[in-house]
Amino acid sequence: MTSASSAPYDMQVKLLMIGDSGVGKTCLLLRYANDSFSPTFITTIGIDFKIKNVEIDNTRIKLQIWDTAGQERFRTITTSYFRGAQGILLVYDVTDRRSFESIRNWISQIQQHADVHVNKILVGNKCDMTDDKVVSTEEGQKLAAEFGIPFWECSAKNDIHVDDSFIGIARAVKDRLVADGGPAMNKKQQAVNLKAGANANGAQGKCCK
């Protein structure tokens, strides 16, 4: 967790990262929150989170970014965190077509469990692996356009468009909340989320980007 988590802020925003196991959700989060990258794949067990303070359009925002497990056995835990999420990053691996095809299933999960007004963004990770790429940029753009959401191709390893994707979804949430005139997250929800996050942990596994 970043040390800036105790700094004053104007708004708190909860972001959720979802997608199949191995697409690089944790690597994207560590690149954005800590500006670090590990070639060792980190399997998220249930839920983990990071906090990062940013300033967008002169608004100080405390981002609470939740990293979810993609494995089926954790799906029940994951879906319980859809409630209260204000922005969701749908992540797939451009070298893994199955993870791309799963995006429709993840969107269905959002429609079932998340707030109807939640902001969404589509992220194709590992764009640095051009020789192994099996999902074209055009396919990603087409899917994002179908659901009316922004799209970025990113690389956690080479730090390509990582900030753009997180800041983009955070700005969209901020603009919506300001327009609605509502709080980013009530105190009770904050306490529940922080308690759950404190119990999250991870394990080491195979290589990823």
Average pLDDT, the chain: 81
**What is the distance between the alpha carbons of residues 2 and 74, in angstroms, rounded to a whole number?**
26
Domain 3-207 CATH class label: alpha beta
Q: Are 74 and 109 in contact (CB under 8 A)?
A: no
Q: What pLDDT score does 139 carry?
A: 98
How many whole angstroms separate alpha carbon 23 and alpha carbon 115? Answer: 24
120-146 burial code (b ≥16 CB/10 A, e <16)? bbbbbbbbbbeeebebeeeebeebbee
92 contacts 19 by C-beta, under 8 angstroms: yes
Burial 94-103 (b: 16+ CB within 10 A, else e): bbbeebbebb
* Angle of helix 162-180 versus helix 25-34 axis, rounded to 10: 80
What are the extents of the domains in the chain? 3-207
Question: 104-144 pLDDT, tens per residue?
Answer: 999 998 999 999 999 999 999 999 999 999 999 999 999 99
Quickly state the pLDDT bin for 188 (edges 50, 70, 90).
very low
Q: Which pair of tokens denotes residue 170? A: 């955070």
pLDDT tens digits for 86-115? Answer: 999 999 999 999 999 999 999 998 999 999
- Tell me the pLDDT tens digit for each residue of 16-59: 999 998 899 999 999 999 887 766 555 544 467 899 999 999 99
Mean pLDDT score, 190-208: 43
pLDDT tens for 51-87 read: 999 999 999 999 999 987 655 544 555 667 788 899 9
Q: Which residue has the higher pLDDT, 34 or 208?
A: 34
Predicted confidence band of residue 197 (pLDDT cuts 50, 70, 90): very low
Q: What is the pLDDT of residue 70?
A: 54
